[in-house]
């Protein structure tokens, strides 16, 4: 009885409560939405959040959708605890069907982030689309503004724990990135990357 409550009834009830708390024209939740705790959602009036069917969120999730940005969470996506998803400017963050996101991962979406279907993102990963200006030593870094470039992970990619993906990177279908790597350049399909900066180590058979 306790297991049924924790695994079935409580997540469904909290999913229903989340719909009630965040109902609005710019927020949509699909059927069978479940969560372990009501997520923290901050959304501007011109932004959009779309959550498809059969999505499951763990506790301590933060979703921020600012300015004219959009976040789309596809069907059967599971997001572990402590994950932060931020979209701003006119960026769109899209997690396609069946994506799995590990605990305390961060999506920093000043520009578009796309994660292909059935991809795996391990814990403590950082997907970064924005970089501070820093070259002018006469001006504080905080005042030099940002540059932006999209990040794209095609389907069936796997990022190990503590991976960082920097702006402008596209990882083609089936790429695997080893733990603690920093990815600064695009990678071809089915390659295996590792290191700082990340380099091709092998290919998947």
Could you tell me if 67 and 86 are in contact, meaning their C-beta atoms sit under 8 angstroms apart? no
Distance, CA of 85 to CA of 179 (rounded, Å) = 21
Q: What is the dihedral of CA 174, 177, 178, 179, to 10 degrees?
A: -130
| Percent residues over pLDDT 70 in the chain | 97
Q: Which residues does residue 56 pair with via DSSP β-bridges, in sequence order?
A: 34, 78
Determine the average pLDDT of the residues in 149-172: 98
Tell me the domains of the chain and their CATH numbers: 2-203 (2.160.10.10)
Which pLDDT value is given to residue 136? 82
What confidence tens digit (pLDDT) does each residue in 15-24 have?
A: 999 999 998 8
Question: What is the CA 93 to chain-centroid distance, rounded?
Answer: 7
* Predicted model pTM: 0.93
Q: Mean pLDDT across the chain, nearest whole number?
A: 95
Could you give the percent of the chain with pLDDT greater than 90?
A: 85
pLDDT of residue 138: 86
Greater pLDDT, 155 or 9: 155
Q: In this structure, are strands 34-35 and 130-132 parallel, antiparallel, or unpaired?
A: unpaired
Q: What are phi and psi of 139, to 5 degrees?
A: -125, 135
CA distance 54 to 97: 10
Contact, 17 vs 35, CB < 8 A? no
Residue written as tokens 């305390």? 104
Residue 167 pLDDT exceeds 90: yes
């Amino acid at each position: 009885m306790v297991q049924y409550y924790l695994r079935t009834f409580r997540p469904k009830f909290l999913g229903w409560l989340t719909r009630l708390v965040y109902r609005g024209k710019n927020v949509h939740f699909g059927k069978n939405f479940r969560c372990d705790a009501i997520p923290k959602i901050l959304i501007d009036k011109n932004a959009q959040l779309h959550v498809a069917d059969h999505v499951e969120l763990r506790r301590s999730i933060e979703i921020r959708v600012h300015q004219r940005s959009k976040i789309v969470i596809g069907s059967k996506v599971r997001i572990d605890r402590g994950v932060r998803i931020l979209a701003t400017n006119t960026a769109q963050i899209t997690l396609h069907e069946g994506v799995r996101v590990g605990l305390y991962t961060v999506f920093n979406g000043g520009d578009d982030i796309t994660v292909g279907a059935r991809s795996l993102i391990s814990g403590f990963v950082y997907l970064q689309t924005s970089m501070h200006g820093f070259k002018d030593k006469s001006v504080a870094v905080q005042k030099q503004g940002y540059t932006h470039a999209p990040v794209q992970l095609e389907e069936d990619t796997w990022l190990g724990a503590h991976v960082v993906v920097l702006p402008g990177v596209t990882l083609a279908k089936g790429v695997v990135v080893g733990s603690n790597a920093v990815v600064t350049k695009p990678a071809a399909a089915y390659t295996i990357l590792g290191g700082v900066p990340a380099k091709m180590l092998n290919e998947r058979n």
